[in-house]
A and B are shown apart, each in its own frame.
Chain A
Amino acid sequence: MDPYVVAIWIVRIAFLGGLYLFMFGVARLLLRDLRAAARDPGGALARLVVVWSDVSEPPRGTVFGLDAVATIGRDVNNSIVVEDDFASAEHAALAFRGRAWYVEDLGSTNGTFVNGLRTDGLSAITYGDELQVGRVRFRFERSRR
């Protein structure tokens, strides 16, 4: 057999193999990312970012990871504690039900605001909405992963 022909076929097959080598490289990166994600326990569904705060706790820039149910208020038993005299002890609750997130005002004195509007009872919210409890404004965001 002509050695040139053999050599050309070796190059051709090496080119095809190279395409798969590239894909293998990408797959390895993907696997590494997945392993890193599995090790990271922070499996929050969504997050609340404090975009504006007039009180010491929580300060601006704080990020809260949210589970399916989270409560906001002045009482220390809440998942998000707002140290503000304008916030009620049990002020509001956030819940993920079915397909959407809801915020519920728990009968607070000064109200819970969604995008600047006072909400009574339960209302649906989406990522990017702003919530205000007392003198703290949160932005509701998708979790980072």
Chain B
Amino acid sequence: MTASAGTRTRPAVAAIRPRARRRESGLLIIVALVLLLGSVSLGATQRELAGQKVTWLPADAGQLVVYLTALFGAHLALVLAGRRSDQVLLPTIGLLAGISLLLMERLPQSLVTQSLAGRTFGLASIQLGWLLLALAVITIVALAVRSDAWLRRYKYTWAAAGISLLLLTFLFGNEVNGALLTIQIGPLSGQPTELIKVILVIFLAGYLSEFRPLLVEASMRLGPLQLPPLPYLLPMLAMWAMALGIVVIQRDLGAALLFFAVFLALVYIATARASYVVVGLILFAAGSVVAYQLFGTVRDRVDIWINPFADASGKGYQVVQSLYAFARGGIIGTGLGAGLPLVGGRLPIPAIHTDFPFAALGEELGLIGVVAILGLYLIVIERGLRVAASAADDFRSLLAAGLTLVVGVQAFIIAAGNLKLIPLTGVTLPFISYGGSSLLANGVVIGLLLALSDRGVEPPPPAPAGRRRFAFLRGSRQEAG
């Protein structure tokens, strides 16, 4: 029975006062040193392989300096704004993205080229540009979002926006490797699913936080399972139908898997009821069996997963090469820049910069390096869930947990796919894969997590009078209690 009165809340709007973020500074210095070492290692290896004199200069000092300047710039912006947000997220993301830059510098630059104003840019330059934009997005979102009212109030608007983006992809999407993935607007093309995943989490957080009391309390018995009444099961069915629609129309297995997994995890976090997860898994199993029977793409992926060596030079080629890459890497790897010899002038894994960066890192950094990369994702997840656990109300908590899981589950799906732990589905490895939409969408995720973790963020608004519709439930608790 402690009722410790006393501590006053701070005024919502305080004067902006710079505040040191020592932990972040310390970690960022480690990040800078590690990236410098990586760059020196890459530069020396590349010069040795090219038969030049080995010098201890970084591989591409200019790009590294630009990137690190931007990273410390983001840090400085947070310091000057006096934010008391999480201090581990930015350095961790900075390290992952820095490893991405090293990897892109190391791959053949002709993999992706873009001509702009008479100059042609290669893979690493374009990726550097996207990384800088992503850092800018992180900083702007982290600084600008002081209240989450605009996220929680318009949840159905967000849902509508997400669904229309999805429909746009269905209608106007371009096919990449047999999947409708990208939308082209003028010279720019993007992957809408990357943005949809963020919108989905915002909608689910709003929906689940509003209906949580009903989902937890009400129940309908069906055999051994306690289910919520039918009206509250409908969103689950709708979500399942949407995931299946993505599989059927878009042939984008990765996005469908990601959306459904994050949805189930959020429902479980909101209700703490295993029955929902059981129902969801049954639906997932049923959908998978049907999809396997009906669609060649799905069957191919599963067959490759079960035995990639059955067609090692055809369908199973990339997965087999990925396994070889991990095997060549061994425990400490071949060293940055020393792996992946070209096969007949071509890369053994064509999609190495988008779908298989984990295999490339597995070869060059070995088991030790890959475990470290997974550890970095675990740090992101730990920090995100910590933000969720200390959030002031359900919406914010679910939002933070969902945003974290979207990044974590996506990293798991593609890393496990590269390792042939689950069937390969084409999603990007967050912050490491090449690609603008992925980097920007994940930048929004990290920016929002930073904003939500700030202790000066505006307190949640009072519950709307719209909760009146639950009055009947509240009244009826008398008998139940």
Q: Which residues of A contact B (CB under 8 A)?
A: 4, 7-9, 11-16, 18-23, 25-26, 29-30, 42, 44, 49, 51, 58, 61-67, 69-70, 78-81, 99-100, 102, 104, 114-117, 119-130, 139, 141-142, 144-145
Given A70-B1, A104-B481, A142-B390, 9 other A-B residues pairs in contact with their CB atoms under 8 A: A8-B335, A15-B37, A15-B38, A15-B41, A19-B375, A25-B27, A26-B88, A44-B2, A102-B481
Closest 4 A/B residue pairs (Cβ): A18-B34, A121-B478, A128-B393, A123-B474
Q: Which of A19, A61, A78, A117 lies in contact with B372, CB distance below 8 A?
A: A19
Number of interface residues of B (CB under 8 A): 74
The reply to whether A139 and B462 form a contact with Cβ atoms under 8 Å apart is yes
Q: How far is the CA of A123 from the CA of B379 in the complex (A)?
A: 39
A115 CA to B335 CA in the complex, in Å? 61
Residue of B nearest to A48 (CB): B3
- Residues of A close to B481: CB separation below 8 A: 102, 104, 121-122
Which residues does B use to contact A, with CB under 8 Å?
1-9, 23, 26-27, 30-31, 33-34, 37-38, 40-41, 44-45, 48, 54, 56, 87-88, 91-92, 95, 209, 212-213, 216-217, 272, 332-333, 335-336, 365-366, 368-369, 372-373, 375-376, 379, 382, 389-395, 397, 459-460, 462-465, 467-468, 471, 473-475, 477-478, 480-481
| B387: min CB distance to chain A, Å | 12
| Shortest Cβ gap from B114 to chain A (Å) | 29
Contact B462 A22 (CB under 8 A): no
Are A26 and B379 touching (Cβ within 8 A)? yes
Q: Is the CB of A145 within 8 A of B390?
A: yes
Q: Tell me the dominant secondary structure on chain B's binding face.
A: helix
In the bound complex, what is the Cα–Cα distance between A8 and B37 (angstroms)?
11
Q: Which residues of B contact A12 (CB under 8 A)?
A: 41, 332-333, 335-336
Q: What's the Cα separation between A53 and B9 when bound, in Å? A: 14
Question: Given A8-B44, A63-B7, A99-B216, are A19 and B462 also a contact pair (CB < 8 Å)?
Answer: no
Task: Pick from A26, A80, A117, A126: contact of B471, CB below 8 A.
Answer: A117
Contacts of B54 in A (CB 8 A): 4, 8
Given known A-B contacts A8-B54, A23-B379, A100-B217, A64 and B37 have beta carbons under 8 A apart: no
In the bound complex, do residue B335 and residue A9 qualify as a contact, i.e. CB atoms below 8 Å apart?
yes
Which B residue sits closest to A51, measured CB to CB? B462
A16 touches B365 (CB 8 A): yes
Chain A residue, CB-CB nearest to B210: A126
How many whole Å from B299's CB to the nearest CB in chain A? 39
